[in-house]
Structure 1
Amino acid sequence: MSATTLAQPFDTTTLNDVRKTGVLLVNLGTPDSPSVPDVRKYLRQFLMDERVIDIPYVNRWFLINLVIAPFRAPKSAKVYKQLWRPDGSPLKTYGYSVKDKLQKVLGGDYVVELAMRYQNPSIEKALVALRKECLTEIIVVPFFPQYASASTGSVYKEVMRVVKDWEVLPEIRFVNRFLEHPKFIKGFVDLGKKYMAQHDYDHFVFSYHGLPERQITKGDVTGSFCQFGSCCDKLDHRNQHCYRAQCFETTRLLVKGLGIPEGKYTTCFQSRLGKSPWIKPYTDEVIPELTKKGVKSALAFSPAFVADCLETTIEVGEEYKELFEKEGGVHWQLVESLNDSDIWVECLEDIVKNPAS
């Protein structure tokens, strides 16, 4: 073999022709139906996750299987029936719509699958489907704008559980968060401006899903920075993975885009469970405080969710509206989630194609 032959560069043309990227979209999950057995099954899988309820296994098992699931399932099933649409759970319906739209814009070099962290379609089933495509890379996109161990972290763990025994592992890239993405922010800003053009609001409420304070403290790698106060006034290298700090940063970005003046908005947290302290302020305690200050109209956002679900449509949209009116408020309006909007699909396209975007 001649030196000239040895010096020839490796021809990557064929390899580039067959490169294919998998995209795994993952949302939290939903019962298969609003029936009590399906809701109970969902609650058991969801709440038995050690990243969701981070107490010893035996304690968690007894709490979920003997207390929460048996007694909460019938009540939750009634609420899910209010949420359910003719085509099923809105969270899953919008998920499939986004999957199809994203597949169309990405084209044949990508294979897009939808999964739910809990229940169906499962992460395992979606990954098995992607595995058959002989992929070069898999990009995992949890549908959580802010990172939390109980949401994004749990998706990471489940993906790795499924793939750990594969003989051949393609490159896997996880999307950690996307709260700063300009199109994510613009999506909510555009929705908010639509309602602001229709009504003059006294106050703006940004309500995020809550977490136990102990989970925030456990995530503080410095061991001393997290104080549940001014430490969340800005996002930097010390609190970049703190869910609470990321929520406050999301609010700041949305407030800037919406042109809301200081003193006219509140960041708060909802959906707490149990007696241990959760991150504050609590939305259901903020609302009476606002009405006491004379707030008569409020525009509410749920920027921890990208699709309408029980926590947005029912909790923020109906239950908090009822509380607001009971406390003397007059007009409470929920801003819907991004759902399957074009700008949300464009945001995902950017996230997939441009990791630094």
Structure 2
Amino acid sequence: MAKKGILLVNLGTPDSPSVKDVRKYLREFLMDERVIDIPYLSRWFLVNVVIATFRSPKSAKEYQKLWDERGSPLKYYGEDLTKAVQKQLGKDYQVELAMRYQNPSIKLGLNKLKKAGVNTIKVIPLFPQYASASNGSVIQKVMEIVSSWQVIPKIDFEGPFFDHPKLLEAIAQNAQKLMDQTVYDHFLFSYHGLPERQILKAEISTCQLGDCCNTCKSKNRYCYRAQCFETTRLMAEKLNLPEDKVSTAFQSRLGKDPWIKPYTDEVLTQLAASGNKKVLAFSPAFVADCLETTFEVGKTYQEDFISAGGEQWDLVESLNVHPSWVDCVCDMAKT
């Protein structure tokens, strides 16, 4: 009996923290037309002449701090997750890990499943909230690769899954460990940002980038900003957090164009100025440790918060290979 193929796909990571490999990674990542959605020549100049030249050395230093004896956490936690899911699903499934950018590539993962003779493929982009620059890019890449196959098996794509009960349970359990030790004044949910134009280009006619995102229903389910606010609402409900002690914000903006608001770096300053001394931060857009969690939210924002007058800034651990997160992935694989 043919196996069912499962392809887990995360964003990607450099092969090493060297400037050369970081530059290679940034070029592939940022030249994706779904990531920087501007005309090709402008994108090529921005990425290859400006960003790859001047940002790579700085990013390489950050990756060197993130790297440990196992390498990049994003990659090895992905490998650990793949093994755990494979073990739980059993011999009727073949589970492979891929990265949208760099290694292991989506093409390699798909070819492994093809060689194994699977009769179906379920692609699970490991991004809880849907965005064109993440899920959309993975889907497009998979379709480009399989379009050249003589025989294309049944292929399904999973997501978004921000409201999956077992995902929420895993985040809640990680948060509760810290909440049992500290009484926090505020809870800040920080999500990766997107340029406003990408939300508006998504043909979600109801989105005004305002209060319309406070609820997430069928008509705006694919609005990234609305999904993020809904994730916060579901987590606050699960953890019994008072509404007036919860905020949603967006990090990692790049360039001068407006990105979705509010901005995390501005919100944390306002929180400190308002007398909030102890803040618990969440990063629910990421499922594994990476620069955006460990360093941006965990260290940079911590330093900024304390400099602004705060006293304690803690970050809820990423899902990595939390048992409930493994269960969540297995549920998606089997549906």
TM-score by length of 1: 0.93
Q: Deviations over 1:261-280 (max 9, x none)?
A: 11101000000000000000
How far apart are 1:221 and its partner, in Å?
A: 3.6
1:254 equivalent in structure 2: 235
Secondary structure (helix, strand or coil) at the match of 1:288 reads helix
| Letter in structure 2 aligned against 1:147 | Y
The whole-number CA distance in structure 2 between the counterparts of 1:245 and 1:234 is: 6
The whole-number CA distance in structure 2 between the counterparts of 1:147 and 1:72 is: 27
1:59 equivalent in structure 2: 42
How far apart are 1:20 and its partner, in Å?
A: 1.3
The whole-number CA distance in structure 2 between the counterparts of 1:99 and 1:191 is: 21
Q: Which runs of 5+ in 1 are unaligned?
A: 1-17
How far apart are 1:205 and its partner, in Å?
A: 0.5
1:135-146 matches, within 5 Å, as 135-146=118-129
The whole-number CA distance in structure 1 between the counterparts of 2:211 and 2:192 is: 20
Aligned length: 335
Name segments (4+ residues, structure 1) moved above 2 Å: none
1:214 equivalent in structure 2: 197
How far apart are 1:176 and its partner, in Å?
A: 2.1
- Would you say 1:36 and 2:22 are equivalent positions? no
1:142-291 matches, within 5 Å, as 142-222=125-205, 225-291=206-272
The whole-number CA distance in structure 2 between the counterparts of 1:162 and 1:46 is: 17
- Would you say 1:348 and 2:329 are equivalent positions? yes
How far apart are 1:220 and its partner, in Å?
A: 2.8
The whole-number CA distance in structure 2 between the counterparts of 1:262 and 1:107 is: 42
- Would you say 1:89 and 2:72 are equivalent positions? yes
The whole-number CA distance in structure 1 between the counterparts of 2:288 and 2:38 is: 29
The whole-number CA distance in structure 1 between the counterparts of 2:65 and 2:246 is: 29
- Would you say 1:46 and 2:29 are equivalent positions? yes
Q: Deviations over 1:194-227 (max 9, x none)?
A: 10000000000000000000000001342xx111
Q: Is the 8 A contact 2:305 2:313 kept in 1?
A: yes
Identity of aligned residues (%): 61
- Would you say 1:122 and 2:105 are equivalent positions? yes
2:290 equivalent in structure 1: 309
The whole-number CA distance in structure 2 between the counterparts of 1:82 and 1:256 is: 35
Structure 1 stretch displaced more, 322-331 or 337-346: 337-346
**Alignment partner of 2:311 out of 324, 330, 339:** 330
Q: Which runs of 5+ in 2 are unaligned?
A: none
Q: Deviations over 1:53-85 (max 9, x none)?
A: 000001100110000111000000000111111
| Letter in structure 2 aligned against 1:64 | V
How far apart are 1:292 and its partner, in Å?
A: 1.0
| Letter in structure 1 aligned against 2:94 | V
Secondary structure (helix, strand or coil) at the match of 2:181 reads coil
**Alignment partner of 1:298 out of 273, 279, 282:** 279
Secondary structure (helix, strand or coil) at the match of 2:233 reads helix
- Provide the alpha-carbon RMSD of the alignment: 0.7
How far apart are 1:336 and its partner, in Å?
A: 1.0
How far apart are 1:238 and its partner, in Å?
A: 1.7
| Letter in structure 1 aligned against 2:304 | L
How far apart are 1:338 and its partner, in Å?
A: 0.4
Secondary structure (helix, strand or coil) at the match of 2:217 reads coil
How far apart are 1:173 and its partner, in Å?
A: 0.5
1:72 equivalent in structure 2: 55
| Letter in structure 2 aligned against 1:352 | A
The whole-number CA distance in structure 1 between the counterparts of 2:33 and 2:123 is: 21
TM-score by length of 2: 0.99
Q: Deviations over 1:279-315 (max 9, x none)?
A: 0000000011101110000000000000010000000
| Letter in structure 2 aligned against 1:244 | R
Q: Is the 8 A contact 1:220 1:242 kept in 2?
A: no
| Letter in structure 2 aligned against 1:265 | V
The whole-number CA distance in structure 2 between the counterparts of 1:283 and 1:148 is: 19
Q: Is the 8 A contact 1:22 1:111 kept in 2?
A: yes
Q: Deviations over 1:88-107 (max 9, x none)?
A: 00000100001011111111
Q: Is the 8 A contact 2:124 2:157 kept in 1?
A: yes
Secondary structure (helix, strand or coil) at the match of 1:263 reads helix
| Letter in structure 2 aligned against 1:141 | I
